[in-house]
Amino acid sequence: MIRARWGYQSIPWSFSTSVGLLIAILAAGPGFSADPPIEPGRVVLNSIGMSLTYCPPGTFLMGSPDADPDRKPEEQPQQTVEITQEFFLGTYEVTQGEWFSLMQTEPWKCQPGVREDPRASVTYVSWYDAQEFCQRLSQHEGKMYRLPTEAEWEYACRAGTTTRFSFGDDAAKLSEYGWWGSTAEQGTARHEPYTHRVGLKRPNPWGFFDMHGHQWEWCQDAYAAKMPGGRDPFTPGDHKSNRYIRGGGWCHVAVDCRSAYRPSDTPESKHIDLGFRVALGRDHAKISRTTRAGSTPVSLKSRP
């Protein structure tokens, strides 16, 4: 029954089918109630060595409180959000090696701000490119991979915290957790202005790496004038709608790397510091090998 609800249909990617499937998933209500509980931070590895970390259902406050001096209007008022369905989210941003193993392309090739490395995160990919990657990965495994919703992203980034960053309110600690500020005096990317390997900084409380900084991360949601709340909020938009990008990037200042900061970009945009990570439902995460957070993913299919 669960399989049917989440079942992947092997059809060419299109905007309408992608959004339709996601709406169906989010509208399906709480799932997997018969499965035993899993603690946050549980990690699974998929068929291409991609590490995915577990997020339980839960409720959190999305956005910024009045107490944050760097809050933006679009981060307020705070909204209570309920995530009714557990899911897995990429432990890391999608890497160049993972991208090449599926897409056989190198969109970052010869671009500024890039150090070619299979373990470095992918950049110069549009929202449409990210959709195609998710579609191909879904076809490869027969499971429904997708981008996280904006609410899921912030839920995973906060990992139970209510502070400006998942490590607290003090931006001075950001350098321990992320690559940021290539033009800022104190930024960690100031003397290393390029894409790094994923996972070099400290993780958040649930074990996600590079949520603050490194690459901005595409989310599935379209821009909405008012921040949505409630149960599993999601704004589908249309094929030309701006899409939210979250987490800040290595070319940006520390306040842009806050958990609640939520700018958007045109879906065809490709940038020096814009990538993504993927989401997967729990039943489809029951794959060949499971392990604890902090383990090393299996080797990737190498480039020629």
Site residues (vs Ca ion, CB under 5 A): 210, 214-215, 247
> What CA–CA distance (Å, rounded) separates 302 from 122?
15
CB of 196 within 8 A of CB of 216?
A: no
CB 176 to Ca ion: min, Å: 15
Residues present in the chain in total:
304
Q: Cite the beta strand spans of the chain per DSSP E.
A: 43-45, 51-55, 58-62, 79-83, 87-90, 145-146, 216-222, 230-231, 243-246, 264-265, 274-275, 279-281, 289-291
Complex with Ca ion: residue 21 or 55, whichever CB lies closer: 55
CB 217 to Ca ion: min, Å: 5
Complex with Ca ion: residue 21 or 75, whichever CB lies closer: 75
Distances in Å between the Cα of 160 and the Cα atoms of 26, 193, 207, 259 are: 21, 31, 12, 11
- Of 298, 301, 303, the closest CA to residue 52 belongs to 298
Helix, strand, or coil (residue 126): coil
Which residue's CB atom is positioned nearest to Ca ion?
A: 247
Complex with Ca ion: residue 85 or 166, whichever CB lies closer: 166
Complex with Ca ion: residue 25 or 55, whichever CB lies closer: 55
Complex with Ca ion: residue 6 or 177, whichever CB lies closer: 177
Complex with Ca ion: residue 118 or 213, whichever CB lies closer: 213
CB 216 to Ca ion: min, Å: 7
CB 194 to Ca ion: min, Å: 15
CB 258 to Ca ion: min, Å: 12
Helix, strand, or coil (residue 285): helix
CB 239 to Ca ion: min, Å: 25
Phi/psi at 158 (nearest 5 deg)? -65, -40
